[in-house]
Amino acid sequence: MFRALFELIITIVIAMVARALFASVMKGFGSAASSGFQQQQQPAQPREAPRTGELHKDPVCGTYVSESTSFRRQLSGKTVYYCSDNCRQKHAV
């Protein structure tokens, strides 16, 4: 009787440990897969310009950029400032 009870307790403990290990491994795979998916889905971040000078609104994405940015274009005698080269290329002349 004592031996059967002892074997039952050992079996339950082994099952609990195995379940915890399996859950931990699956959680690790899930978080690794989701972080990899999030990294692939994020759009390219525009290059941040130094924060000096007056700020101007990018006409494409709406962010504010410093006058010292290298991404700019002269249109009709007016200087237009962009946050990135992608925004400058998207803006139709």
Residue 49 domain-assigned (yes or no) = no
Q: What's residue 14's pLDDT?
A: 96
- Strand-pair category, 55-57 with 64-66: antiparallel
46-77: pLDDT as tens digits: 565 555 678 888 888 888 888 888 788 888 88
Q: What's residue 11's pLDDT?
A: 96
Residue 10 domain-assigned (yes or no) = yes
Whether 38 and 59 share a structural domain: no
Q: What's residue 8's pLDDT?
A: 95
Q: What's residue 33's pLDDT?
A: 72
Residue 48 domain-assigned (yes or no) = no
**For residue 33, how far is the Cα from the chain centroid?**
13
33-53: pLDDT as tens digits: 776 555 555 555 656 555 567
Residue whose C-alpha is closest to residue 65's, from 31, 43, 91, 42: 91
Total number of domains constituting the chain: 2
Assess whether pLDDT exceeds 80 at residue 84.
Answer: yes
Range of the domain at 17: 1-42
Residue 80 domain-assigned (yes or no) = yes
